[in-house]
Structure 1
Amino acid sequence: MESTKPSFHKSMGLLDATMLVAGSMIGSGIFIVSADIARNTGSAGWMILIWVICGFMTLTAALTYGELSAMFPKAGGQYVYLREAYNPLVSFVFGWTFFAVIQTATIAAVGVAFAKFTAYLFPFLDEDVYLLALGDYRVSSAQVLSIAVIVLLTFINSRGINSGKLVQTTLTLVKIVSLLLLILFGFMALKYEVWNINWLSADIWSLRKLNVDGTFEDYSTFGAFGAISAALVGALFSSDSWHSSSSVAGEIKNPQRNIGLSLALGTTIVTIIYILTNLMYTGVLDLHQMVNAPKDRVAMRAAQEIFGPFGITIIAVMIMISTFGCNNGIILSGARVYYSMAQDGLFFKKVGVLNQNAVPAYALWLQCLVASLWCLSGKYGDLLDMITCVVVVFYVLAVAGVIRLRYTRPHLPRPYKAFGYPVLPIMYMLMGTTFIVLMLIYKPNYTVPGILIALAGVPIFYLVNKKRNNHV
């Protein structure tokens, strides 16, 4: 008698996987974080260099992950890689942190970003419009809209992988084309006097703090390293979720080839777009205009210079499309991680079950619930700042895992081997570790809480593991 147990449908091709990677990366960050990067670096040269460093790190990690994805083409991606390279404790701590904060708080933050920019078109949806007040606690219309969007996207993805991939591929293509058109029109509207101020100044490579009032402050040697790491936080956050296609390996055609290729293509596309977008900013805005952009919305300030008053509407629509598509990608991919944890007996049993549409619906709806709670808490932004350092810790561990597996399990089939091995993986490990150390030294208030959240997963693992063993 044949089993009727649902199994994943391999329906995602290379284009779908690449658009999942690119679409999950491009959210609202590229439209905002350049203001903070400009404040921390104080020069156009250093601002672009931060994006180049970020792009190099992301692409290097993606090329290295290609080897892992070819070796272990299973749903769960990074969770599976850490388990195979190290042990269940390491992978569980990642999975716990991913579920508790990394993925769910990101979904909340992207959802609220969608609502904030929707409010430019419909002011009654603004975050300052409160629908409920209980003492000092308030719920805004933006929070309610963000939850509604998360619920809608979760429902779409619960209907099957074809529904999720259609939304993802379509919206990602739209936002890539939109960004390229923004870049094109931006360069067409280039102001030579602004470009010359940014790029022909003698201080083009001076690393210093740029204050809102236009004054500069020089850094000490150690302070300069802290400024670089602080600037990288925004860039790395804007480039995160680049590993999304690895999480849905069970639904990708020819995963040994297409996952690694989608990681390389997706991260390359986004890196080029991000660098070109920031170059465009420096052609229409001087650094003082960037750091003084209302609520750091550099793209809106640039669009006003390019398109006039109508520019705000153009960017608002672009960010709505961008954040909607971004959330679809991270909702789709995140649920597969919890599914893999449940398959290992380390999460709620039902989370490891596929519904009649061959998707982990329980995992999707549980993720939706936690993300919605983060929306209501209003604390997702603080948590994301705290967790950036921990995210890089797990990336460094996974990249190091490639080297470790070469020695501990040399006979495993490797359909694809990491490009530039061992030089590029070692470079990433050095750069990532340097970033982590600098953040611990210069931004302990942001990094220590994130590490504590991750370490809380250790006792939870032993409790869950003990319970699992008692039931065996």
Structure 2
Amino acid sequence: MKKQLSLWDGIMIVMGSMIGSGIFIVSSDMMRQLGSGYWVIAVWLITTFATIAAAICYGEMSSLFPKAGGQYTYLTETFGKMTGFLYGWSLFAVIQTGTIAAVAVAFGKFTGYIFPELNDAAPLYQNGNFMITWMQILAIAVILLLTFINTKGIQSGKIVQLFFTSSKIIALILLVIGGIYLIKSNLFSENIAFGWDAFQNLKGEGWTGISGTALLGAIAAAMVGSIFSSVAWENVTFVAGEMKDPKRNVVRSMVIGTTLVMLLYLLINYVYLSALSRDEIAFAANDRVAVAAAEKLLGNTGTIAMAILVMISTFGCVNGIVLSGARVFQTMAKDGLFLKQAIANNKYDVPERSLWLQGIWASLLCLSGQYGNLLDMVSFVIVIFYMITVFGVIYLRWKKPELERSYKTFLYPVTPLIYLLIGTVFCVLLILFKPNYTWPGFILILIGIPIYYLGKRKESKDNHIS
């Protein structure tokens, strides 16, 4: 593949893929779970440390395997084809495509905020609980449009990514700066006055103090939101084959991009906690806490501006995920672990068939109406594979110390151990207290095992016949 992506492009992919709809929504549920601004900030800080630590560790993997496929390649090279396939299978089944579907539908929902006709329109088709709405059609149109743009070459996708990512970063910075200056009655002190005391109010029936195991479960549930808002930074590793000087620029993109996004997230949450009361954050309409904050600061004009910002954000996020994910499926196909039709590049030197396979499946998830249920366990599945990859850094240092490492993990082994500790605590808490977030993820991964062996059996038969 041609080396067409610079360090700046890499940073834009990282930031554009991370900033989707989550930061505008998840703080509502986090407040319902924990009831204290202190705890909300604490969860975001834990997520910040974990995200940056993981990105630093991935840097060493990217220096060892600076080629297309990214995390899939790291897992395959370190632990074998089955581990790589199970990651790629999970990526195609829900992690990548389900995220594309969810963020595209979020685009549709915020479009409906500006054009209420979309909200009020009767379903195009309905049979029982299953329905096809105009918002779903709009989401599919966004997915197919961005898939088409990305089939016209990496430059086309790069231009879209640069424009929309730059726009939303500038808008978010203005939101932070404007928010700080426009707040008439700062409620930050009031929201953190509860300190480490935690409360829960999941149904709007009043706040109840929680501690012990209930608090641990609430922290885990709150982290689902913060982690989901902070993933997808690894997408830049998928396009390493098209990065200039990938051994240096991939790790720089990840560390710089994740650090800037997490700093921005912390500042945005400061604005939420300063502009809104605890109840206003917890029970913002449809969890649109960013819209509630904008309305408090600027009235109706603020809500329209925020809705437009989220549309820009989600559009750019979908583009970043569409652009990068298809490279993984192409690499899997080359390894005999995905449909062989996904191997070929088109005349613009991009994996067109892989892009369309990804886009069509993401569109079907939009129609299914089940993308939301699937995404409940995305954070859990992603963290499992993050942990396996981070552990790979330690494993390769022990197993293959002779490998050339142009970049070594900063503060090794402290950095990978920090991530493994946070990730393990998060996963164990979810397994113990929120199993509905975990067992679907385990089932999804396990389904990949027979699919892997069926594929190997077919490959063996084909080789025998040839």
Query: What residue is the counterpart of 1:408 in the other structure?
Result: 399
CA 1:373–1:415 in structure 2 vs 1: closer, same or farther (change >3 Å)? Answer: same
**Greater CA drift, 371-380 or 346-355:** 346-355
For residues 224 and 61 of structure 1, the distance between their equivalents in structure 2, rounded to whole angstroms, comes to 26
CA 1:213–1:469 in structure 2 vs 1: closer, same or farther (change >3 Å)? Answer: closer
For residues 127 and 58 of structure 1, the distance between their equivalents in structure 2, rounded to whole angstroms, comes to 40
Write out aligned runs for 1:176-215 (5 A). 176-199=169-192, 201=193, 203-211=194-202, 213=204, 215=206
Query: What residue is the counterpart of 2:458 in the other structure?
Result: 467
CA drift of 1:197 comes to 1.5
Contact 1:112–1:143, Cα closer than 8 Å, also in 2: yes
Q: Does 1:265 align with 2:256?
A: yes
> Pick from 355, 358, 361: which aligns with 1:364?
355
> Pick from 290, 296, 304: which aligns with 1:305?
296
For residues 427 and 302 of structure 2, the distance between their equivalents in structure 1, rounded to whole angstroms, comes to 38
Q: Does 1:33 align with 2:26?
A: yes
Write out aligned runs for 1:163-174 (5 A). 163-174=156-167
Query: What residue is the counterpart of 1:3 in the other structure?
Result: none
For residues 127 and 430 of structure 1, the distance between their equivalents in structure 2, rounded to whole angstroms, comes to 47
AA of the residue aligned to 1:238: S
Write out aligned runs for 1:10-29 (5 A). 10-29=3-22
CA drift of 1:292 comes to 1.5
AA of the residue aligned to 2:191: N
Q: Does 1:444 align with 2:439?
A: no
Query: What residue is the counterpart of 2:139 in the other structure?
Result: 146
Query: What residue is the counterpart of 2:107 in the other structure?
Result: 114
Contact 1:212–1:291, Cα closer than 8 Å, also in 2: no
Contact 1:131–1:139, Cα closer than 8 Å, also in 2: yes
CA drift of 1:286 comes to 1.0
> Pick from 150, 153, 156: which aligns with 1:157?
150
CA 1:96–1:219 in structure 2 vs 1: closer, same or farther (change >3 Å)? Answer: same
For residues 211 and 108 of structure 1, the distance between their equivalents in structure 2, rounded to whole angstroms, comes to 26
CA drift of 1:211 comes to 4.9
Listed one character per residue, the Cα deviations across residues 102-134 of structure 1 (whole Å, up to 9, x for unaligned) are 111111001100011111222232386412234
> Pick from 327, 338, 344: which aligns with 1:347?
338
Identity of paired residues, percent?
A: 48
Query: What residue is the counterpart of 2:423 in the other structure?
Result: 432
Write out aligned runs for 1:219-238 (5 A). 219-238=210-229
CA drift of 1:434 comes to 1.1
Q: Does 1:43 align with 2:5?
A: no
Query: What residue is the counterpart of 1:87 in the other structure?
Result: 80
For residues 375 and 127 of structure 1, the distance between their equivalents in structure 2, rounded to whole angstroms, comes to 19
Contact 2:21–2:229, Cα closer than 8 Å, also in 1: yes
> Pick from 369, 376, 380: which aligns with 1:389?
380
For residues 311 and 212 of structure 1, the distance between their equivalents in structure 2, rounded to whole angstroms, comes to 27
CA drift of 1:210 comes to 3.4
**Structure 2, unaligned runs of 5 or more:** none
Query: What residue is the counterpart of 1:320 in the other structure?
Result: 311
Contact 2:186–2:275, Cα closer than 8 Å, also in 1: no
For residues 204 and 378 of structure 2, the distance between their equivalents in structure 1, rounded to whole angstroms, comes to 31
For residues 225 and 196 of structure 1, the distance between their equivalents in structure 2, rounded to whole angstroms, comes to 24
**Structure 1, unaligned runs of 5 or more:** 1-7
Query: What residue is the counterpart of 1:4 in the other structure?
Result: none
Q: How many residues align?
A: 463
For residues 71 and 333 of structure 1, the distance between their equivalents in structure 2, rounded to whole angstroms, comes to 20
CA 1:146–1:455 in structure 2 vs 1: closer, same or farther (change >3 Å)? Answer: same
> Pick from 269, 275, 278: which aligns with 1:278?
269
AA of the residue aligned to 2:350: V
CA drift of 1:325 comes to 0.1
What's the TM-score once normalised by structure 2's chain length?
A: 0.97
AA of the residue aligned to 1:408: K
For residues 21 and 120 of structure 2, the distance between their equivalents in structure 1, rounded to whole angstroms, comes to 16
What's the TM-score once normalised by structure 1's chain length?
A: 0.96
For residues 43 and 319 of structure 2, the distance between their equivalents in structure 1, rounded to whole angstroms, comes to 28
AA of the residue aligned to 2:88: G
Q: Does 1:329 align with 2:317?
A: no
